[in-house]
A and B are shown apart, each in its own frame.
Chain A
């Protein structure tokens, strides 16, 4: 059973992403969108937490939300994959469940 966790809040403002990573089992996927994409920037006060979680989970960010916020893909934590809206749909379809962290 695999879950796709989706997070749309900045980790610097809410604990949504931290709580998500604390509950996401090995092998699950996490997709960051809207203000959630700020959680994928490297060299931040949160990037170590994300990097540790990525050892056993896949992390994706929604490209259009990155571009809107002026974050270049070169600024992301290594291993984070960028997807477009169609990729978001594919991830949702491949997963047994989609869980939101508001």
Chain B
């Protein structure tokens, strides 16, 4: 058995305008098979990936926002969202999709996956990682 490493996926791009957000999500889901300690960070325009009410019918692209709700099933339940990035974009937690997971160590209680953190806290979270993958 190899030891578990801390992986952070750093998301800094808005969805749909470029392919980065969707690519990141797919790599996260594939990488979840390796059972590492995975966290996701949403910084800068990356916070736009999590807005609620996305409807892509008018632009002819696949709406992949429902897939973020499956992350809990994949044991990916630490989604750090930077407070300053939200505020600079006129957003608050209320503008984001509610994302939850079931905590197996706490009688499958439903808990929030999104954690809003300050820029200073985000810097610390980055510092604690073994591997950071940027999108």
Contact = CB atoms under 8 A, between A and B. Distances in A.
Interface string A28-63: 000000110010011111010000000000000001
Contacts of B37: none
A35 B90 contact: no
Interface of A: 8-10, 12-13, 34-35, 38, 41-45, 47, 63-65, 67-72, 75, 84
Nearest to A14: B45
B117 to A, nearest CB: 19
Given A38-B14, A43-B90, A64 B59 contact: yes
Contact of A69 (B13, B14, B57, B88): B14
A9 B14 CA distance: 10
B65 A70 contact: yes
Given A35-B14, A69-B54, 13 more contacts: A10-B14, A10-B45, A12-B89, A34-B17, A35-B45, A44-B90, A64-B58, A65-B58, A68-B55, A68-B63, A70-B65, A71-B51, A72-B53
